[in-house]
């Protein structure tokens, strides 16, 4: 927030509503520039962090059940010498190409 109001109450009220920076007038251009650059960099880092977390969570959530079911299937059919990709793909409702690629 760039403002002429400089009382403690104004600063606290501004921070209470989510303001990142409180810069009083008259302001120094370098202070303002530095505050803007830092804010943009922090937002970018937060965005990247949560994006990685969301992607990791989605991947873990979607892969875990399949991996458990697949391991169980292999344990049950371990001795079946006729077991092939076509049968496994059909069992998991996945195309043979996708089954081999994944």
pLDDT tens profile 11-34? 888 888 888 877 878 888 898 888
Contacts (Cβ under 8 Å, ≥6 apart) of 85: 96, 99, 100
Q: Cα 93 vs. chain centroid, distance in angstroms? A: 29
pTM of the entire structure?
0.44
Query: In this structure, how many other beta carbons lie within 10 angstroms of the beta carbon of residue 43?
Result: 11
Give percent above pLDDT 70 in the chain.
88
Rounded mean pLDDT, 53-67? 69
């Amino acid at each position: 927030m760039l403002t002429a109001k400089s009382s403690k109450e104004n600063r606290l009220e501004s921070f209470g509503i989510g303001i990142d920076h409180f810069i009083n007038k008259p302001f120094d251009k370098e202070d303002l520039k530095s505050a803007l650059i830092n804010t943009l960099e922090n937002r970018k880092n937060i965005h990247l962090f949560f994006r990685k977390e969301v992607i990791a969570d989605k991947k873990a959530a979607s892969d875990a059940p399949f991996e458990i079911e697949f391991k169980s299937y292999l344990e049950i059919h371990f001795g079946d010498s006729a077991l092939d990709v076509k049968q496994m793909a059909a069992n998991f409702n996945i195309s043979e190409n996708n089954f081999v690629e994944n």
